[in-house]
Amino acid sequence: MWNEHFGIGVVEYLSRGVIPVVHASAGPLLDIVLNDQVSSSWYNDLGFFFKSASDPDFDPSLNSEDPNSLKFKFNDKVIEYPSLSQLLSTFYIENPDLILESNLQLMRSKGSKLMVGKIFK
């Protein structure tokens, strides 16, 4: 969901070790799926982000003709995000090493510890 301000569902499943695949906006990007700073990439050590050309903040002038290249301006930086379908294609076809069990286990552990730390502060 574009610009969801908090996202209790994301907090709940992250605290249980589920790796988030979330929209790169508002709560998930700015408050939840991060360690010390907002991710400047489509993934970090806690989860994965996607965007859509139908997002209200999509600026066609930043983008080329490539439908898989979704560039958005955030804090005066241009960041490229995959669409959800491109993200899934990356996981299962182009770069399945991203979702190797060993990598996912590290992400699960970090996410769970981070959420428990935030909840019980």
Q: Which domain holds residue 75?
A: 8-111
Per-residue pLDDT tens over the stretch 63-115 = 876 666 788 887 788 888 898 999 999 999 999 998 999 999 999 998 888 88
The residues with which 70 forms a beta bridge, in sequence order, are 81
pTM over the 0.75 mark = yes
Q: Single out the residue of 99, 93, 12, 94 nearest to residue 47, CA to CA.
A: 99
The residues with which 23 forms a beta bridge, in sequence order, are 50
Q: Is 47 inside any structural domain?
A: yes
Count of the separate structural domains present in the chain: 1
Q: Which residue has the tokens 């709560």?
A: 27
Dihedral angle of Cα 40, 92, 51, 13, to the nearest 10 degrees: -80
CA distance 32 to 10: 8
Q: Single out the residue of 84, 108, 24, 114 nearest to residue 99, CA to CA.
A: 108
